[in-house]
Every structure is written in C-alpha cells, then in structure tokens.
Amino acid sequence: SAVISQKPSRDICQRGTSLTIQCQVDSQVTMMFWYRQQPGQSLTLIATANQGSEATYESGFVIDKFPISRPNLTFSTLTVSNMSPEDSSIYLCSVDRDHGYTFGSGTRLTVV
C-alpha cells in the first residue's frame, strides 16, 4: 500500500488565521482525498483532488474555506482558512491504490 507523509502532525492556531496541511505520497496516484474527523466522530470527506483540475467538494464544504492544491501526482495541500474553534478537528489525506485506501496519520488542529 502507499506510504503517506502528512505535515504538520498537530498545530494550535489562533482564530482568524489559516493553516496549510501538506500530504506527500511515495508514488503517483490519480486522486487524493481530504477528510475531516471531528473529536470522537467518524470521517467526513471534504473534497477529492485530481492533478491538473479543481478539487471536487462535498456538500457543506466550500473552496473559499478549504482551498486545495494538487500540483503533481504525489503531493497535495489543504488550507483551512479563517479558522474558528469549530474547525478544531483531525484532518487526514487519503489515496486509493487499487481500492486499498490508505490514510496519512492526520493533522490534529486546535483553534483557540
């Protein structure tokens, strides 16, 4: 399965600021997925990122709040913009390799 490196592993941020999360995969993949996991909750898909095109966002998530970049087939970033305490969550990237979905270890974000 793919190896995913996600940075930072955790951060504490002031409300109103933005944080960019990086996801690096050890091999080329077509699609990368960004999930949010609120404390003690399940995983919710934020968006799907294809290289060379705009990300596709799920209902309830918008590009202005969660801009995503996908500059090549091994890397993506998710930015959490204008943060509020409600954005405190774990953010995870994932890739699908022959339907063996692999997740990064996540970024634990706390907004104060």
Partner 1 sequence: QQQVKQSPQSLIVQKGGIPIINCAYENTAFDYFPWYQQFPGKGPALLIAIRPDVSEKKEGRFTISFNKSAKQFSLHIMDSQPGDSATYFCAASKTAGTASKLTFGTGTRLQVTL
- Report the interface residues with partner 1, using CB under 8 A: 1, 4, 6, 30-31, 33, 41-45, 48, 56, 92, 94, 96, 99-106, 108
Q: How far is the CB of 99 from partner 1 (least distance, A)?
A: 6
Distance of alpha carbon 73 from alpha carbon 28, whole angstroms: 5
Take residue 64 and report the two structure tokens written for it: 């202005």
- Closer by beta carbon to partner 1, 16 or else 44: 44
Q: Which of 27, 20, 42 is nearest to 95 (CA)?
A: 27
Q: How far is the CB of 12 from partner 1 (least distance, A)?
A: 16
Q: How far is the CB of 26 from partner 1 (least distance, A)?
A: 15
Distance of alpha carbon 74 from alpha carbon 77, whole angstroms: 11
